[in-house]
Amino acid sequence: MSQICDDCPANSSNCNNLYCTSAEGSTRGTIIANRQLPGPSIQVCQNDILVVDIINKIPGHSLTVHWRGQPNHEAPFMDGVPMVTQCPISGYTTFQYKFRASSPGTHFYHAHSDADRTDGFFGALIVRQANKVEPHGKLYDVDSKEHIVLLSEWSGDLSTGIVNEDDLTKAIMINGKSPEVSGHSLSVFNVEKDKRYRFRVAYTAGSVGCPVAISVDSHLLKIIALDGNPINPYEVSSAELTKGERLDFVLKTNQKIGAYFLRAKSTCNENELNGLSMISYDGFSGANIENKIVLEENFRKFDTSLCNSKIGKVCLGDVRSLNKIPSNLRKFEPAYFCINMYHDNVCYFSGSLKDVRSKIYRINNFTFTYPPSPLLTQPNDVPLNLMCNELNTPDKCVGQSVCECVHLEYIALGTTTEIILIDQGMYMQNSVYCLFQVGSFERISLLYKHQVPENY
Ligand SMILES: [Cu+2]
């Protein structure tokens, strides 16, 4: 809760001050854009040139901003990945992002590192198309900047020494507000009765990334787009998103005049987290808050994970895109990447919590470390002996379980590569190494056989 919130939640008008970041009510540092949580929403038309100056006023802390959903083919150096596409923006310097918003739909921007994003640096990036070409334009009456829903996990302050990442998530926020601060400061979406509204939802931030299910009491959601891409619409009672995903739905305001909760429910590390906001019909007097989820049990859920579809569920495999797959993506070479988390057998203890330092993530047995210069713009400044891949293991790594290096895989210009990620879970010291093979599906089953169960 920032200082400007004054006596929020006791005085609810203070909670609604534009610059009051109430979050879930506890005191912690934030990194936010323009003193707002979420940051200002950016609304543009397709192919507009977006110019954003990032003035970094954080002493001794550098960052970059990633524009999620924008391919940036014309200006890859504007993608916002530190030490890969650009140098990070140092404290007290300014960097100008300038690129074409080529990909329409619901997107968002965020500070690139997980920690900065979890500290609050994110905001909506909505790219609209002309009515003539918007494929679902006939399915709704209103597409307003008032109906943007940014979901985020809110955590303890990473800088205060909390050591177990599994214990971090405290609340699910909707547009930077959480019911923990009391119902006064919930986000409210105003609607008129008997209209169809396009709601644009993005799950922007979180240290853990637990799936979140959204629903609106007594209403169905007609899902029309995923990650900015139009799909054949599905009508569901709730829909699940994970970190980074976007989803557009149409809400028909066909219930009696009242206020209905828009819920964001998550089970995160066995904690029940309930994000709340309010959909308020015009003419609602404030007396009768509808508070029933009649549809939850007897209607389908939309699950964007790879589930088995059965009655009551729409799974990712059922989703049909309105756009045909581009012809250049039909022929591809597969490349397999094995991801695992290495446990070095040494447990650090801090109180009763296991220290996160004992877990090391690896891809193809390499742990990525950042190069001293951006790979895209200054590749020649990166010493060759820091780089690694399957064909080139640095001398320092021979015989070592953990190899930190600038992991670089080469792909020929103009080719299409299908990247297959294999999650191998947790590995212990001396356990089987990830076998990296290209082009054989038999190898995949072999890899799965080598998977070490999580509850070793
Ligand atoms: Cu992103």
User: Mean pLDDT throughout 341-364?
Assistant: 58
**Where does the pLDDT of residue 344 fall: very low under 50, low under 70, confident under 90, or very high at 90 and above?**
low
Dist CA 18 CA 239 (whole Å): 29
Residue 131 backbone phi and psi in degrees, to 5 = -50, -35
**Closest CA relative to residue 247, chosen from 262, 228, 232, 275:** 228
Q: Kindly state the tokens that stand for 4.
A: 């400007």
**Residue 6 C-alpha to ligand 1 middle, in angstroms?**
33
Locus of tokens 């599905």:
234
Report CA(352)–ligand 1 centroid distance (Å).
34
DSSP state of 453: P
For residue 191, how far is its CA from the centre of ligand 1 (angstroms)? 30
Q: How far apart are CA 254 and CA 233, in angstroms?
A: 19
Cα(68) to centroid(ligand 1), Å: 4
Radius of gyration for the alpha carbons in the chain, expressed in angstroms and rounded = 23
Taking the C-alpha atoms of residue 97 and residue 194, their distance in angstroms, rounded to an integer, is 41
What is the distance in A from the centroid of ligand 1 to the CA of 110? 6
- Residue 81 Cα to ligand 1 middle (Å): 10
Centre of ligand 1 to C-alpha 163, Å, is 25
Superfamily of domain 31-128: Cupredoxins -  blue copper proteins (2.60.40.420)
| Percentage with pLDDT > 90 across the chain | 44
Q: What is the pTM for the complete model shown?
A: 0.85
d(CA 301, CA 213): 9
Ligand 1 centroid to residue 14 C-alpha, Å: 32
Instruction: Compute, in angstroms, the gap from residue 10 CA to the centroid of ligand 1.
Output: 36
Q: How far apart are the first and last CA of the chain?
A: 41
Distance 185 CA to ligand 1 centre (A): 28
Q: Which residues fall within 8 angstroms of residue 147, CB to CB, at 6 or more apart?
A: 189, 197, 198, 199, 200
> Whole-angstrom Cα distance, residue 456 to residue 454?
5
Q: Is the pLDDT of residue 432 over 60?
A: no
The Å distance, Cα 241 to ligand 1 centre, comes to 14
- Listed in order, the ranges of the chain carrying CATH 2.60.40.420 are 31-128, 135-323
HSE-up of 34 (CA within 13 Å, CB side)? 11
* Cα distance between residue 343 and residue 359, in whole Å: 5
Looking at residue 332, its pLDDT comes to 82
> What is the Å distance from ligand 1's center to 79 Cα?
9
Query: Residue 219: what pLDDT?
Result: 92
Cα 119 to ligand 1 centroid, rounded to whole Å: 15
Q: How far is the CA of 108 from the centre of ligand 1 (A)?
A: 7
Distance in Å, CA 232 to ligand 1 centroid = 25
- Bridge partner list, 168: none
Distance 179 CA to ligand 1 centre (A): 26
**For residue 221, how far is its CA from the centre of ligand 1 (angstroms)?**
25
Q: Give the residues across from 336 on adjacent strands.
A: 420
User: In the block, which residue shows the tokens 């008032």?
Assistant: 146
Burial 408-437 (b: 16+ CB within 10 A, else e): beeeeeeeeeeeeebebebbeeebeebebe
Whole-number Å distance, alpha carbon 73 to ligand 1 midpoint, is 16
Note the pLDDT of residue 362.
86
Kindly tell me if the per-residue pLDDT of 350 is higher than 70. Answer: no
Cα-to-centroid distance, 122 and ligand 1 (Å): 10
Separation between Cα atoms, residue 145 and residue 168, nearest integer Å:
31
Q: What is the mean pLDDT of the chain?
A: 81
* pLDDT for position 271: 78
* Distance from the alpha carbon of residue 311 to the mean position of ligand 1, in angstroms: 33
Q: Is the pLDDT of residue 358 over 60?
A: no
Q: What is the CATH number of domain 135-323?
A: 2.60.40.420
**C-beta separation of 251 from 279 below 8 A:** yes
User: Does residue 417 surpass a pLDDT of 70?
Assistant: yes
| Whether pLDDT at 186 is above 50 | yes
| Cis ω before 38 (30° cut-off from 0) | yes
Report how far residue 407's alpha carbon sits from residue 429's, in angstroms, rounded to the nearest whole number. Answer: 21
Q: What pairs with residue 274 in β-bridges?
A: 265
Separation of CA 115 and ligand 1 centre (Å): 13
pLDDT band for position 351 (50/70/90)? Answer: very low
**From ligand 1's centre to the CA of 180, what distance in Å?**
27
pLDDT score, position 333: 81
Amino acid 182: pLDDT: 52
**Model pLDDT for residues 35-84, shown as the tens digit of each residue:** 888 999 999 999 999 999 999 999 999 999 999 999 999 999 999 999 99
| Interval between CA 252 and ligand 1 midpoint (Å) | 30
Confirm if 426 and 451 have CB atoms less than 8 A apart.
no
Kindly state the average pLDDT of the residues 165-183. 72
Q: Is the pLDDT of residue 85 over 90?
A: yes
Give the pLDDT of residue 157.
Answer: 62
Alpha carbons 179 and 286: distance in angstroms, whole number: 18
Ligand 1: centre distance to CA 206 (Å): 12
